[in-house]
Amino acid sequence: MGSTTAASIREAIAGENVSAWLRSVRDPAERAHQLAKLSSTELRALGTLLDRHGGTDLFESIDDELAARLLEAMPARDAADLVDVLDLDHAAHVLRDIKPGPREQLLSGLPQARAEALRGLLRWPEDSVAAHMVPEALTVRPDMSVGGAVAALRDDAATLRSDSRTGAYVYVTDEDNRLLGVVAFRDLVLSDPQDTVSALTNRDVLSVSPLTDAEVAAQALMDHNLVAVPVVDDGNRLLGMLTENTAADITSEEVTEDAERQGGSEPLEVPYLRASPWLLWRKRIGWLLLLFVAEAYTGTVLRHFEEEMEAVVALAFFIPLLIGTGGNTGTQITTTLVRAMATGQVRLRDVPAVLLKEMSTGMMIALTMALAALIRAWMLGVGPEITLTVCLTVAAIVLWSSFVASILPPVLKKCRVDPAVVSAPMIATIVDGTGLIIYFMIAHATLSQLQGL
């Protein structure tokens, strides 16, 4: 998959021969990859070279944001022609990434009915499943014969523009467009033409309302192993459907955003290779500064225990090791837990079970790490008292970190904050300051030199 001697889009733009590039580079990943590296000047040049035909081909394999940039750069007439031939849902998505002014201009260049259909889709909130649905579906009536349904579908199909992605199901509706069930095209092909549609209809259909969160609907589609989920209004009337391909895209984007949050930065919202250093800086610096301020607390803690450190400078040797181990233990838990919550495996009511599981595991890890700390302190030759302090501290920090890491994601979820913001840096920062307090408190209790302080 992917060739090492792929034709270059840069050369194609320079040579004004984009269609040859489109013919020779068929792999969508390779296309997206080459396009991601173009400068905005090159993108504009590419836009001016695209016609409706090349645009349709290209738009199949690129993300909506890039498609929007290209549309903006294309001659107005070609852009309108291209939007006119795209699938409705695809067109709506690309248009969402264009500023209202130019978007309205583009819409006004379209046939009236097409523009209205697009405006209808654009009115749904961006996160809703309705904003992601294919607003067209083939329907049949339950009392039709299979042969009659096939004939009716043939007539309907001529007037619809839905592409092959909408192809697996036909919805069964009554005369008011209320959803009754679903029939697979496959069953229409494989059944006796004399059967009624009703006999083939699966009436146990999962449907969603238009304002359902798109991620929730996508997850439900995947959980139920479906190819599409119908979107119905309050009166159970069919508005459109969410297809499996769209659901997979929604889920993949969400996974990328979660990964970025887990790494302690804001989601980039554009493909990494197209993100400028300036954008990366903006997405990262907020969390870095916040964590810096939180972490600065460690300096206050250490200054508070300045006398202790002056009395026993060996205590300082173990600071990075102890707080590092606490951060690592917590990070292991939060990453596993956040993912389990994102896939719906762990819910809020499981918090007691999670806590029990993690504290039991934490106990075993605390013992193991205390043993490791014993060996390390012995190797550094710091004497029995400091060795004891270090062993006790590592066990206490592991348990404390396990507790914080198990409780924080569900607490945030309860407060309607995405638990994915509990990043490795955040856990490390929380455990660093508090871990140091634990360290010096234990040191006070165990070290004879510190008894007077």
Q: Which residues contact 195 (CB under 8 A, 6 or more apart)?
A: 145, 146
**Shortest Å, Cβ 353 to a copy of itself:** 7
Q: Which is nearer to a copy of itself, 78 or 136 (CB)?
A: 136
CA distance 221 to 217: 6
**Shortest Å, Cβ 338 to a copy of itself:** 8
Q: Which is nearer to a copy of itself, 99 or 224 (CB)?
A: 224
**Shortest Å, Cβ 142 to a copy of itself:** 17
**Shortest Å, Cβ 153 to a copy of itself:** 6
**Shortest Å, Cβ 395 to a copy of itself:** 13
Q: Which is nearer to a copy of itself, 117 or 309 (CB)?
A: 309
**Ramachandran class of 383: left when φ > 0, alpha when ψ lies in -120 to 50, beta otherwise:** left
**Shortest Å, Cβ 23 to a copy of itself:** 11
**Shortest Å, Cβ 376 to a copy of itself:** 5
**Ramachandran class of 29: left when φ > 0, alpha when ψ lies in -120 to 50, beta otherwise:** alpha
Cα 21 to chain center, whole Å? 31
Taking the CA atoms of the chain, what radius of gyration do you get in angstroms?
Answer: 30
Beta partners for 182? 171, 202
Q: Which is nearer to a copy of itself, 107 or 405 (CB)?
A: 405
Q: Which is nearer to a copy of itself, 27 or 143 (CB)?
A: 27
CA distance 135 to 114: 12
**Shortest Å, Cβ 436 to a copy of itself:** 7
CA distance 382 to 425: 30
CA distance 217 to 244: 10
**Shortest Å, Cβ 68 to a copy of itself:** 18
Q: Which is nearer to a copy of itself, 76 or 348 (CB)?
A: 348
- The structure tokens 């870095």 sit at 288
Q: Which is nearer to a copy of itself, 39 or 112 (CB)?
A: 39
Q: Which is nearer to a copy of itself, 179 or 323 (CB)?
A: 323
**Shortest Å, Cβ 28 to a copy of itself:** 5
Do residues 110 and 118 make contact, with C-beta atoms less than 8 angstroms apart?
A: yes
Q: Which is nearer to a copy of itself, 277 or 452 (CB)?
A: 277
**Shortest Å, Cβ 410 to a copy of itself:** 13
Q: Which is nearer to a copy of itself, 13 or 138 (CB)?
A: 138
Q: Which is nearer to a copy of itself, 65 or 244 (CB)?
A: 244
